[in-house]
Amino acid sequence: MPARDRKTSEIRKDFISDYDGLADQWWDPRGALAPLGWIARARADFVPAARRDGAVLLDIACGGGLFGPHAVAKGYRAVGVDLSELSLREALRHGFDEVVRADVTELPFDDASFDVVTAGQCLEHVPDPYAVVAEACRVLRPGGTLVVDTIADTRVARFASITLAENVPVPGHPPRGTHDHRLFVNRERLTRTARTHGVELRLLGLRPRMREMARYALGRLDEVRMVRTGSTAVLFLGTGTKK
Ligand SMILES: C[S@@+](CC[C@H](N)C(=O)[O-])C[C@H]1O[C@@H](n2cnc3c(N)ncnc32)[C@H](O)[C@@H]1O
């Protein structure tokens, strides 16, 4: 199904065109978006296998569809929403059944229409991430699973995700300007928002395996595994069930 146009108001259009410009890199294991694939694999561990025929997973800000193969492997029909037209085309080539071009702060779906909603590495790119979480909870069915992962609004996250990640020229490093620390997400407000909308989130930290990072940088590995950490101060994931 072709990507549908919808509201694109007041979004940083330069940011979206960045993703259009990077669309050929979504699936390059040594490209600028490679770490998103590692995180997608880690996210999949928190998505239960589909419990009914026709179960549907919505991937908010699906980008080039890195979560598509995981959604399919778990038995879901996968729907993606994003503003980057070229990325949505990639998503359709990688397991997504349907993509919709829309602003994630105003999802064009009915209440309680999805069994699972994922939002990976998206909240830290939007001016109002809490509105996105409210929307994610709204479209989730009672008993459904929400999985979000993003970057915390801490100094250490700013150092790790911008100062280091965007400036050290190793394979897989994001281009300069990918992140704006002012958009990093407040964990307390995130959990409070989800709770208000019926989802009690459990937070945990994620980080890449350092030894594998070194081997990846040397060209000896094509993928780095993520591990869970006690600290949610940098990259963290939240998951919960809708009441
Ligand atoms: C870092 S990428 C993450 C993509 C995907 N979730 C993943 O983990 O591979 C951020 C994505 O958010 C999308 N995006 C940013 N702001 C958006 C908005 N307001 N509405 C829809 N998509 C948005 C971008 O186009 C991009 O594809």
Ligand 1 center to 29 CA (angstroms): 19
Ligand 1 neighbour 91 (Cβ under 6 A)? no
Indicate the pLDDT class of residue 15, thresholds 50, 70 and 90. Answer: low
Q: What is the CATH number of the domain that holds 139?
A: 3.40.50.150
pLDDT in tens, 151-192: 999 999 999 999 988 888 777 788 888 899 999 999 999 999
Domain tally for the chain? 1
Structural domain range at position 133:
13-241
Confirm whether 85 is domain-assigned: yes
- Look at ligand 1, atom 3, and give the residue with the nearest C-alpha: 121
Alpha helices, DSSP H only, in the chain? 13-21, 34-44, 68-73, 85-93, 129-139, 155-158, 187-196, 210-217
- Look at ligand 1, atom 19, and give the residue with the nearest C-alpha: 103
pLDDT in tens, 77-96: 999 999 999 999 999 999 99
Confirm whether 51 is domain-assigned: yes
Ligand 1 center to 228 CA (angstroms): 23
Strands of the chain, DSSP E: 56-60, 77-82, 98-101, 114-120, 140-151, 202-208, 226-229, 235-241
